[in-house]
Amino acid sequence: AQKVTQAQTEISVVEKEDVTLDCVYETRDTTYYLFWYKQPPSGELVFLIRRNSFDEQNEISGRYSWNFQKSTSSFNFTITASQVVDSAVYFCALSELMETSGSRLTFGEGTQLTVNP
């Protein structure tokens, strides 16, 4: 069975600090996809990134960066120079294909990030 662990339930930082959100996953599949989503207080989940299991290259998008380490089954997310608007719950998720050609996302429990001014 697939599993995603986000060990940090809550993180609080001061604006402009860097912060890393951890994600560790378990799967028996050789091909899989990993995702990060942001859930602001409004509730709607916002897609941040998708990474397939064959692409271990780290990615940077503005202040966001992702470190995929297949050897440790981790897909960590770093926000550089955090801002108050980054305050949200962040979810890491792992995708598996289902028999009917849909995909099942297994979500972690989420990390509540609070950025204080």
Where on the chain is the footprint of another protein (CB under 8 A)?
Answer: 33, 35, 37, 42-47, 50, 52, 89, 91, 95, 97-98, 100-105, 107-110, 112
Nearer to another protein, 33 or 64 (CB): 33
- Smallest separation (angstroms) from another protein to the CB of 83: 21
Nearer to another protein, 17 or 109 (CB): 109
CA distances from 88 to 21, 40, 77, 99 (A): 12, 4, 14, 34
Whole-angstrom distance, CA of residue 50 vs CA of residue 93: 9
Nearer to another protein, 30 or 100 (CB): 100
Residue 109 makes CB contacts below 8 A (sequence gap 6+) with: 5, 6, 9
